[in-house]
Structure 1
């Protein structure tokens, strides 16, 4: 399984970002870390190992970028407006730098996005904001309402980065073409967020799979089971 390390200067963020990329060909998958996670987290927690067969067979190429959660939603030292503003630049980096990079390298005109826990928020937010660039969305234990991090403050930057708010009014036809899996579990503290998101998608008649696994908690063991299963269901 090939592994490459990248450190590049993001024009959108005005700083350097680090990333690991696994595989040398295949469908591009952007895999986000969990809360304040680094680019190596998904490797360290065994999620990449769970996908080894798909990587070695050349079916997927997985991009694991850094997050900037410590500067955005989890940065309690700045006003919520600044937290949201910082995240908008992370979203621009994904949209204008990383996704085009992954598509160019693999020769595919869309990407898949995935993530566990808060990484599930990142994946869903990017997918629903930019459905023209995303073919597959896989979340595992995700939470999708960012207002819990904004201390009661609300503005347009929060609205347009909060899927439960902007998705109901979004009618981009590409949303109905996306392969969406919301993975959760019986004892997942985020199960309610997944049921709520499923209800929003059902109200819009957007096909998806709400996968509620029995007996499992909000933790890596069930996510390591989910991820390769979901990769086997990628649609081009």
Structure 2
């Protein structure tokens, strides 16, 4: 199975580029985030495209896999959390100003309704993007994610950048018309196992449970799918989880 197309798109305000790889020719577009500090090719190289090859071949889904910028932001544990959150804003700008227009050009543009999908730290990116961009990405699938950025070796003062990058904070603070709008336009699916590495060191299980409860309390559509005590924080299980859920969305 070979990639259809790879492009390298400039990160706004920098001399750097990050890559996007497309798999599939037709179907619902899915914006895919890799695991921590991963790259666009990780999705296919870990068998995720092959796991739903029937959907790709049938023209039901098309994956747009992006590089991460975590090494510069969230994975730089030496930097204070607020600084990491500010650096993350460059990644968001790249997604908004470079990736979305390219996907739009590839898919015909008008009325673009993405699904987002990610594993591990990529689950955070997928869910956070949908919650902040539900007008273009109304559905997120987060697998084995952690959704409180202050728990990621957090230190220093937590300011506005951290707050607005932290789903556990800004969802808790939502109210009024914006919350009402999000209730109508966003939908979140969280999957997580109860086996090896889903509690320690990743905290994916307790974080997914706490975040699902928060979303439910706020009236934002959420589904939490808990897998068994043998289900580990690893690609073989993410392949199974995605293959189980994806057909109903595309």
Same fold (TM over 0.5): yes
Structure 1 or 2: more strand by fraction = 1
Aligned to 1:109: 112
Correspondence list, 1:142-161, <5 A = 142-149=145-152, 150-161=154-165
Q: Is the 8 A contact 1:132 1:174 kept in 2?
A: no
TM-score (norm 1): 0.92
Aligned to 2:188: 180
* Distance of 1:45 and 1:105 partners within structure 2: 25
* Distance of 1:219 and 1:39 partners within structure 2: 17
Aligned to 1:169: 173
Structure 1: runs of 5 or more not aligned: none
What does the per-residue CA deviation read over 1:52-102, in whole Å, with 9 as the maximum and x for residues that have no partner?
111111111101111010000111344433311110111121123212332
The yes-or-no answer on 1:223 pairing with 2:238 is: yes
TM-score (norm 2): 0.87
The yes-or-no answer on 1:3 pairing with 2:11 is: no
Q: Is the 8 A contact 1:12 1:92 kept in 2?
A: no
Structure 2: runs of 5 or more not aligned: none
Aligned to 2:52: 51
Q: CA deviation at 1:172?
A: 5.1
Aligned to 1:132: 135
Aligned to 1:206: 220
Report the 3-state secondary structure (helix = DSSP H, G, I; strand = E; otherwise coil) of the residue aligned with 2:165: coil
The yes-or-no answer on 1:118 pairing with 2:95 is: no
Report the 3-state secondary structure (helix = DSSP H, G, I; strand = E; otherwise coil) of the residue aligned with 2:85: helix
Match of 1:197 among 211, 235, 247: 211
Q: Is the 8 A contact 2:144 2:192 kept in 1?
A: yes
* Distance of 1:172 and 1:109 partners within structure 2: 22
Aligned to 1:66: 67
Aligned to 1:141: 144
* Distance of 1:4 and 1:152 partners within structure 2: 41
Q: How many residues end up aligned between the 2 structures?
A: 235
